[in-house]
Chains A and B, each alone.
Chain A
Amino acid sequence: MAFERDLNLEATELRLGLPGTQESRSNKRSLPDMNIVDDQGHRSGSSRVISNASDATKSEEETTPPSKTQVVGWPPIRSYRKNSLQAKKSEAEASGIYVKVSMDGAPYLRKIHLNIYNDYPELLKALEDMFKFKVGEYSESEGYNGSEFVPTYEDKDGDWMLVGDVPWEMFITSCKRLRVMKGSEARGLGCAV
Chain B
Amino acid sequence: MESESKRKKESPNTAELAVTASFPDEVLEIVLSLLTSHRDRSSVSLVCKDWYRAERWSRTQVFIGNCYSVSPEILTRRFPNIRSVTLKGKPRFSDFNLVPPNWGADIHAWLVAFAAKYPFLEELRLKRMAVSDESLEFLASNFPNFKLLSLLSCDGFSTDGLAAIATHCKNLTELDIQENGIEDSSGSWLSCFPESFTSLEVLNFANLTSEVNTDALERLVSRCKSLKVLKVNKSISLEQLQRLLVRAPQLEELGTGSFLQDLTARPYADLESAFNNCKNIHTLSGLWEAVPLYLPALYNSCANLTFLNLSYTALQSGEFAKLVVHCPRLRRLWVLDTVEDKGLEAVGSNCPLLEELRVFPADPFDEEIIHGVTEEGFVAVSFGCRRLHYVLYFCRQMTNAAVATIVQNCPNFTHFRLCIMTPGLPDYLTNEPMDEAFGAVVKTCSKLQRLSVSGLLTDLTFEYIGKYAKNLETLSVAFAGRSDRGMQCVLEGCPKLRKLEIRDCPFGNEALLSGLEKYESMRSLWMSACNVTMNACRRLAKQMPRLNVEVMKEDGSDDSQADKVYIYRTVAGPRRDAPPSVLTL
The answer for the CA separation of A49 and B504 in the assembled complex, in Å, is 23
Assess the A42–B369 pair: CB atoms within 8 A: yes
DSSP class of B's interface residues: helix, strand, loop or mixed? loop
- In the complex the two chains form, is A92's CB within 8 Å of B367's CB? no
Report which residue of A45, A71, A76, A80 has the largest number of chain B beta carbons within 10 angstroms of its beta carbon: A76
- Tell me which residues across on chain B come within 8 A of A50, comparing CB atoms: 367
Shortest Cβ distance from residue B56 to the other chain A in the assembled complex, whole angstroms: 36
CB within 8 A of A79: which of B181, B319, B476? B181
Beyond the given A72-B98, A80-B179, please list 16 additional residue pairs across the A-B interface where CB-CB is below 8 A: A44-B426, A48-B422, A49-B367, A49-B368, A73-B96, A75-B394, A76-B419, A76-B476, A77-B394, A80-B181, A108-B371, A109-B371, A111-B314, A111-B371, A113-B316, A116-B316
Q: Tell whether A45 pairs with B361 under 8 Å between CB atoms, given A52-B367, A67-B367, A73-B96.
A: no
Partner of B364, one of A36, A43, A75: A75
6 A-B residue pairs with CB within 8 Å: A43-B428, A64-B367, A75-B419, A76-B476, A80-B179, A111-B370
Q: Is the CB of B364 within 8 A of A108?
A: no
* B153 and A44 contacting across the interface, CB-CB below 8 Å: no
Residues of A contacting B364 with CB < 8 Å?
75, 77, 82, 85
Separation of A88 and B312 alpha carbons in the complex (Å):
9
B369: contacting residue among A45, A67, A78, A84, CB under 8 A = A45
* Chain A residues, CB < 8 A from B478: 74, 76
Residues of A within 8 A of B425 (CB): 44
- Whether the pair A80, B180 counts as a contact (CB closer than 8 A) is yes
CB under 8 Å from chain B, chain A span 29-60? 36, 38, 42-45, 48-50, 52, 55
- Complex-state Cα separation, A111 to B372, whole angstroms: 9
| Contacts known (A75-B421, A80-B181, A98-B314); A48 close to B367, Cβ less than 8 A | yes
Q: Which of B460-477 contact A (CB under 8 A)?
A: 476
Give the interface size bracket for A toward B. 35 or more
Residues of B within 8 A of A49 (CB): 367-369
Closest residue of B by beta carbon distance from A69: B367
Asked if A28 is at the interface (CB within 8 A of a chain B CB), the reply is no
Binary interface encoding of chain A residues 99-140 relative to chain B, with 1 for a CB under 8 A from any of its CBs, else 0: 010100001111111001000000000000000000000000
Pick the contact of B370: A36, A74, A100, A113 (CB < 8 A).
Answer: A100
| Interface presence of A25 (CB below 8 A) | no
The answer on a CB contact under 8 Å between B368 and A109 is: yes
- How many residue-residue contacts, CB under 8 A, span A and B? 114
Asked if residues A112 and B370 are in contact (CB atoms below 8 Å), the reply is: no
Does A24 make an interface contact (CB < 8 A)?
A: no
In the complex, the answer to whether A111 meets B338 with C-beta atoms within 8 Å is yes
> Shortest CB–CB separation between residue A29 and chain B, in angstroms?
26
Please tell me if B363 contacts chain A, counting CB pairs below 8 Å.
yes
Q: Considering the complex, which residues of chain B in the window 342-369 have a beta carbon less than 8 Å from any beta carbon of chain A? A: 360-365, 367-369
**Size category, B interface:** 35 or more
Is B63 at the interface (CB under 8 A from chain A)? no
Q: Does A182 contact B (CB under 8 A)?
A: no
Residues of B with C-beta under 8 A to A55: 367-368
Chain B residues within 8 Å of A116, by CB: 292, 316, 319
Whether A108 contacts B367 by the Cβ 8 Å rule is no
0/1 interface trace, chain B 416-430, chain A, CB 8 Å (1 if under): 000101111110100
Report chain A residues within 8 Å CB of B207. Answer: 80, 84
Question: Given the complex, which residues of A lie within 8 Å of B179, measured CB to CB?
Answer: 78, 80-81
What chain A residues lie within 8 Å of B422 (beta carbons)?
44-45, 48
> Which 9 residue pairs across A and B have the least CB separation, nearest first?
A73-B96, A80-B179, A108-B371, A78-B95, A75-B421, A73-B98, A75-B364, A110-B371, A76-B96
**A79 and B95 form a contact (CB under 8 A):** yes
Residues of B within 8 A of A (CB): 93, 95-98, 153, 179-181, 207, 289, 292, 311-312, 314, 316, 319, 338, 360-365, 367-372, 394, 396, 419, 421-426, 428, 476, 478, 503-504
In the complex, what distance in Å separates the CA atom of A72 from the CA atom of B98? 7
B365, B367, B368, B423: the one within 8 Å of A102 (CB): B368
Q: Is A26 in contact with chain B by the CB < 8 A criterion?
A: no
The answer, yes or no, to whether A70 is at the interface (CB within 8 Å) is yes
Q: Is A187 an interface residue (CB 8 A)?
A: no
Q: Is the Cβ of A71 less than 8 Å from the Cβ of B367?
A: no
Q: A42, A64, A78 — which one has the most chain B CB atoms within 10 A of its CB?
A: A78
**Beta-carbon contact of B361 and A77 below 8 Å:** yes
Q: Which residues of B contact A42 (CB under 8 A)?
A: 369
Distance in angstroms from B100 CB to nearest chain A CB is: 12
B180 and A108 form a contact (CB under 8 A)? no
Write the nearest CB–CB distance from A86 to chain B, whole angstroms: 8
Q: What are the residues of chain A within 8 A of B289 when measuring CB–CB? A: 88
A85 touches B95 (CB 8 A): no
Query: What residues of chain A lie closer than 8 Å to B98, measured between beta carbons?
Result: 72-73
A98 to B366, CA, bound (A): 14
Assuming A76-B95, A81-B179, is B368 touching A100 (CB within 8 A)?
A: yes
B416 to chain A, nearest CB (A): 15
Which partner residue on chain A sits nearest B155 by CB separation?
Answer: A79
Bound: A52/B360 CA distance, A = 24
Whole-angstrom CA separation of A89 from B371 in the bound complex: 16
Of A42, A43, A67, most buried by chain B (CB within 10 Å of CB) is A43
Name A77's contact: one of B312, B360, B426, B428 (CB within 8 Å): B360
For B96, the chain A residues whose CB sits under 8 A away are 72-74, 76-79
